[in-house]
Amino acid sequence: MRATFGALSRGTESLVFGGRVPVAEYGRMGAPFMEGTFPFPVKYGYATVGVVESGSDELAGRNVFTLHPHQNFFNHPAAAVFPLPDGVPPARAVLAANMETALNAVWNAMPGPADRIAVVGGGVVGMLVAYLCGQLPGAQTTLVDIDPGREQIAHALGVSFSAPANAPGGCDVVIHASGTAAGLETAIGLAGDEATVLELSWFGSGSIPVSLGGAFHSQELRLVCSQVGHVARSHRPRWSHARRLAAAIGLLCDARLDTLLSPAIDFNALPARLPDILGRPGGTLCQLIAYP
């Protein structure tokens, strides 16, 4: 396979780069086809799009997505690649792994038509969750973020935007994806009586304070988590990981999602650029990588 585009997962890869994967999670956090061992150095990453240069007649010459670390050429099992459907260009297809995470989160949170939904945290995954929720009939979906620059992107994806202080409360479902204690505090505060607050952020070896006082108990809030390593319980009896990833790729047939992609950087420049990209707060959403 010859890679054409890739992407950095800033949240997860910054934790890996910083050596903040907990020892107890070494086995579960190993990416497919990763080389090396935690904490560092490891060959990591899981968003690669490319062309099958040599393989079966069914796959040869096809644009495909696969969960493989950043690399320009590699041999790969045929079962581990997913052909791109018509309508999904190679550059946009790098969002497949993030879309899979977002899809699993929506399955776990179980929002419904006409629900009032808040998504706290406007990173790539938060944006994709909001995008999916915003397509529910009659749903009132609001992306909540401290960066006013996210407003234009939220509107392009068809959802409302609010700063935390002005976000609508009494929500039926709240999904937290900011990766901060303040974001989780906001998420809990936006939930209505007996609502679900879904925690989608992963903090690695870090810990954060969680306010379970106030109205948390009197409102009987439900705090749950979502992790892409498991197919959501609601779909697990019928869906494999492969079926879920193929579905996520199919959900990328919308040109509005291109607004999540940053201008591509050359793969050969990645070593020098990586510390700044992973260490810079805000700004870049999905950092696109172009392979020469």
Domain locations in the chain?
Answer: 2-91+261-290, 98-225
Mean pLDDT of 213-229: 92
Q: How many angstroms separate the CA atoms of 91 and 288, rounded?
A: 8
Q: Who wins on pLDDT, 45 or 253?
A: 253
Span of 42-56, 116-130, 192-206, 242-256 with lowest mean pLDDT:
192-206
- Percent of the chain scored above 90 by pLDDT? 76
For the chain, the average pLDDT equals 93
Q: Give the global pTM.
A: 0.93
Residue 208: the pLDDT is: 82
Q: Who wins on pLDDT, 131 or 227?
A: 131
Q: How many angstroms separate the CA atoms of 205 and 88, rounded?
A: 36
Please list, in sequence order, all residues whose beta carbon lies within 8 angstroms of the beta carbon of residue 94, skipping any fewer than 6 positions away: 5, 6, 7, 47, 48, 49, 65, 261, 286, 288, 289
Residue 205: the pLDDT is: 67
Mean pLDDT of 218-242: 95
Architecture of domain 98-225: 3-Layer(aba) Sandwich (3.40)
**pLDDT-derived band of residue 281, with 50, 70 and 90 as boundaries?**
low
Please list, in sequence order, all residues whose beta carbon lies within 8 angstroms of the beta carbon of residue 203, skipping any fewer than 6 positions away: 179
Q: How many angstroms separate the CA atoms of 165 and 159, rounded?
A: 18
Residue 80: the pLDDT is: 94
Q: Who wins on pLDDT, 45 or 256?
A: 256
Residue 71: the pLDDT is: 94
Span of 13-27, 42-56, 82-96 with lowest mean pLDDT:
13-27
Architecture of domain 2-91+261-290: Alpha-Beta Complex (3.90)
Residue 76: the pLDDT is: 92
Q: Which two tokens stand for residue 190?
A: 């936006």
pLDDT at residue 278 is higher than 90: no
Please list, in sequence order, all residues whose beta carbon lies within 8 angstroms of the beta carbon of residue 255, skipping any fewer than 6 positions away: 92
Dump pLDDT digits (tens) for 173-206. Answer: 999 999 899 999 999 999 999 999 999 998 876 7
Residue matched to tokens 């407003």: 151
Residue 226: the pLDDT is: 94
Q: How many angstroms separate the CA atoms of 19 and 16, rounded?
A: 5
Provide the 3-class DSSP secondary structure of residue 246: helix
Mean pLDDT of 156-176: 97
Dump pLDDT digits (tens) for 56-87. Answer: 999 999 999 999 999 999 999 999 999 999 99
Instruction: Count Cα neighbours of 9 within 13 Å in the Cβ-side half-sphere.
Output: 27
Mean pLDDT of 265-272: 93
**pLDDT-derived band of residue 20, with 50, 70 and 90 as boundaries?**
confident
Q: Who wins on pLDDT, 279 or 65?
A: 65
pLDDT at residue 112 is higher than 90: yes
pLDDT at residue 274 is higher than 90: no
